[in-house]
Amino acid sequence: KAGVTQTPRYLIKTRGQQVTLSCSPISGHRSVSWYQQTPGQGLQFLFEYFSETQRNKGNFPGRFSGRQFSNSRSEMNVSTLELGDSALYLCASKLSGGTSGNEQFFGPGTRLTVL
């Protein structure tokens, strides 16, 4: 079974630009979560989608948004990029929605650098 895939793996943008990251979950998994990982803040939860609906949201500004498609693939968008948005963005999928404690499986991440 293929794992979680994320594209692109690396991205360089400049301040003010916007970026879209993509995540394909493990086949059969309907829940997709996004995390931001930085050396200073660690792993921070962004949001979770299940059946195309946002189920949970972390404490990030509205510049961070996401969506999920009917095939469970998910995209994350960051508008008006700031230097502080430079981070590793990790996507994780799990079998069922937010009402269970299923383990999450992570993708390799997208490393975003904002110049």
Q: Which residues contact another protein (rule: CB under 8 A)? A: 33, 35, 42-43, 45, 48, 55-56, 88, 90, 92, 97-109, 111
- Of 14 and 96, which has the nearer Cβ to another protein? 96
Least Å from the CB of residue 96 to another protein: 10
- Of 68 and 104, which has the nearer Cβ to another protein? 104
- Whether omega before 25 lies within 30 degrees of 0, making that bond cis, reads no
CB atoms under 10 Å from CB of 87, counted, come to 21
Least Å from the CB of residue 107 to another protein: 7
Distance CA 86, CA 95 (A): 29
Least Å from the CB of residue 34 to another protein: 11
- Of 71 and 100, which has the nearer Cβ to another protein? 100
The runs of H, that is alpha helices, within 1-114 are none
The structure tokens listed for 36 are 């931001």
Burial of 18 (C-beta count, 10 Å sphere; 0-12/13-18/19+): exposed
Residue matched to tokens 């946002």: 54
- Of 17 and 100, which has the nearer Cβ to another protein? 100
Least Å from the CB of residue 30 to another protein: 13
